[in-house]
Amino acid sequence: MKAICIAISLAACLTLSACDKGNNAKKLDQASQADKEKNVEFLTKLCDDGNFAACVNLGVQYLKGQGVAQDFEKAAKLNRKACDGGALNGCTNLGLMFAQGTGMAVDYEQARKLFARACDAGEATSCLSLGYMYYKGYGVAKDMNKTAEYYRRACDGGSLEGCNGLGDCYEKGLGVAVDYKKAHELYEKSCSGGEAIGCYGLGDLHGKGLGVPKNPQLARKHYKQACDGGYKKGCL
């Protein structure tokens, strides 16, 4: 299966907060050490005052060692506090730490429980992570039906990686009947939203003539989009 996030294996998937992702995360990565240290002080006060989104952000800084000494145990405690306080991406981040064994022993059952808790409450990245666990059989029996189900929930919740994963399911017949038209729709949604691997999926369909007329020129266009977006397989 084409790599989706891959939420289980990439620490880069750890999020800052539902209201502080993307450009703000990039700005923090590029900030000076002094600014990062000030941010730690600011977030610590907010977290102590019960702002659970701030606890998630602070946990990421401890995880990455931004403005503070790297401390996985502290990061885990902050994400646990955030999760228990209702910040769903705190549950997701803690689940990722358990799944990856970041500062702790790998514990897929704990990861699964945390992902399920957050996914059931609408956190798309946790749904994506559950789908991948069932695809790979990490701590659970492999189950393509559940893989497709959770990718669908992730996609419906706004995860472009989830849309791409579901598109792959429709292309390969994993947990659903093969439907190239549906796969095309999902890859297109993923690609148009900026997910490079979705562009690669479109290139595959057009290159092989799966559900659409075979069109090498259009395939090359989508492969280039994938390559330009950082998906190296599209550069071949």
Q: What is the domain partition of the chain in residue ranges? A: 11-143
Q: What angle do CA 166, 170, 176 make, to 5 degrees?
A: 95
More confident residue, 26 or 38: 38
Q: How far is CA 3 from CA 31, 162, 189, in A?
A: 30, 11, 17
48-89, pLDDT tens digit by residue? 999 999 999 999 999 999 999 999 999 999 999 999 999 999
* Percentage of residues in the chain having pLDDT higher than 90: 83
pLDDT at 186: 98
Copy the structure tokens of residue 160: 């472009």
Angstrom distance (rounded) from CA 88 to CA 94: 10
Give dist(CA 56, CA 234) in Å, integer.
34
| Beta-carbon contacts of residue 203 (< 8 Å; ≥ 6 apart) | 218, 219, 220, 221, 222, 223, 225, 226, 234
Q: Whole-number mean pLDDT of the chain?
A: 89
Tell which wins on pLDDT, 207 or 7.
Answer: 207
Kindly state the greatest CA–CA separation across the chain: 59
Q: Which helix or strand (DSSP H or E) is residue 99 part of? A: helix 88-100
Give dist(CA 87, CA 94) in Å, integer. Answer: 11
Does residue 233 carry a pLDDT above 70?
yes
Q: What is the pLDDT of residue 28?
A: 53
pLDDT score recorded for residue 133: 97
pLDDT in tens, 169-227: 999 999 999 999 999 999 999 999 999 999 999 999 999 999 999 999 999 999 999 99
Give 232's contacts (C-beta < 8 A, 6+ positions apart). Answer: none
Q: According to the model, what pLDDT value does residue 19 have?
A: 32
Give the number of C-alpha atoms closer than 13 A to the C-alpha of residue 60, restricted to the C-beta side. Answer: 27
Measure the CA–CA gap between 199 and 182, rounded to whole angstroms: 15
Least confident of 10-24, 32-46, 180-194: 10-24
How high is the pLDDT of residue 31? 63
Q: Is the pLDDT of residue 11 over 50?
A: no
Q: 11-143: which CATH number, 1.10.3720.10, 3.40.50.720, 3.90.1150.10, 1.25.40.10? A: 1.25.40.10
CA distance 96 to 110: 10
DSSP string, 97-154: HHHHTSSS---HHHHHHHHHHHHHTT-HHHHHHHHHHHHHTSSS---HHHHHHHHHHH
First to last CA, the chain: 18
Say which residue, 150 or 33, is predicted with more confidence.
Answer: 150
